[in-house]
Amino acid sequence: MSIDARITVRQGIATVTLGGQADAASVDRIDRLLVDVVEQRPRQLVLDVSELSYLSSAGLRCLVRVHQQLGRDVEIVLLNPSEEVAETVRLTGFDHSLTVQHRRAG
Amino acid sequence: MSTAALRLEGRRCYSREVAAFVAELAGRAGLSRGQTYRLRLAADELTTNAVVHGYRGGAGAIELAGCVAEEWVRLLIDDEAAPFDPSGHDPAPRLAAGPAAGPVGGYGLLLVRHSVDDFAYEYVDGRNRCTLTVRR
């Protein structure tokens, strides 16, 4: 399974839904999507990773890049990371640059 | 003790092939989901590093060898790129800079170190060899 990536923008909030595996094999697709996000100049970015089963440093690099391009004033929300994805984000210190939220449907 | 091996040769990243190899090895060893994830992550980071930084996008071979013993699982990753000791990598400067500044990458070897119980490197017979060990 590769990456499933979608973007929606509503009232200044860009939501990027990433599902599957964010690794070196899928970074080009993620990067292309995140270029669109930066062009939208959102005031908040929600990264919905509820269905993201794997995040390597290659995938993380895409998220760090969009953080740098958007600037510190744009809040980034990491929504529903798995335990392993959250651990990767924490180990790299990226958790200090975003808000981790857990919201479950139902 | 049981063993398995995989040889990858080309000029692209092998994340998916590595994932499948690790999944089979971890399944045979009865590793937990978390242990399997972390061993895959470490193997993915090292093989991707070898392709991108070792071979610099050119062709080159990478060999994986897995071994399951009573108390541990061991994964050996060999490449023939220029000697590079990832165990000597210091992540402190990258962490100190924070993600908002500096290069967007530089986290792979940090993740390797945190993902396995033991990580060793040697340069032997013209090959880089990384050895990852996970206790069962």
Q: What is the pLDDT of residues B27-84, one digit of tens each?
A: 999 999 999 999 999 999 999 999 999 998 788 999 999 999 999 999 999 999 999 9
Q: Is A20 left (phi over 0), alpha (psi -120 to 50) or beta?
A: left
The yes-or-no verdict on residue B119 having pLDDT over 90 is yes
- A25 contact residues in B (CB cutoff 8 A): 13, 15-16
B98 dihedral zone (left: phi>0; alpha: psi -120 to 50; beta): left
Res B105: pLDDT: 79
Taking an 8 Å cut-off on Cβ atoms, the answer to whether B105 and A57 are in contact is: yes
pLDDT at A24: 92
Looking at the partner chain, which of A64, A67, A84 has a beta carbon nearest the beta carbon of B37? A84
Q: Is A35 on the interface with B (CB under 8 A)?
A: no
Tell me if ipTM is over 0.95: no
The chain B residue lying nearest A1, using CA atoms, is B16
- For CA atoms A96, A68, B40, B54, the dihedral sign is negative
Q: pTM higher than 0.90, yes or no?
A: yes
How far is it, in rounded angstroms, from Cα A63 to Cα A52? Answer: 13
Contacts of A86 in chain B (CB under 8 A): none
Residue range B106-124: mean pLDDT, rounded: 95
pLDDT, tens digit, for every residue of A11-50? 999 999 999 999 999 999 999 999 999 999 999 999 999 9
Distance in Å, alpha carbon of B99 to nearest chain A alpha carbon: 6
Beta-bridge partner residues of B9: B61
What is the structure's pLDDT at B101? Answer: 80
How confident is the prediction for chain B on average, in pLDDT? 92
pLDDT of residue A106: 53
Mean pLDDT of A70-93: 95
User: Average pLDDT for residues B108-131, to the nearest whole number?
Assistant: 96
Q: Which residues of B touch A60 (CB under 8 A)?
A: 107
Better-predicted residue by pLDDT, A67 or B100: A67
**pLDDT reported for residue B132:** 98
CA distance B114 to B38: 8
Q: How does residue A51 score in pLDDT terms, banded at 50, 70 and 90?
A: very high
Q: Can you give the pLDDT at residue B21?
A: 97
Using CB atoms within 10 A of its CB, is residue A30 exposed (0-12), middle (13-18) or buried (19+)? buried
- Has residue B99 got a pLDDT over 90? no
- Which is nearest to B112 in space by CA: B83, B133, B136? B133
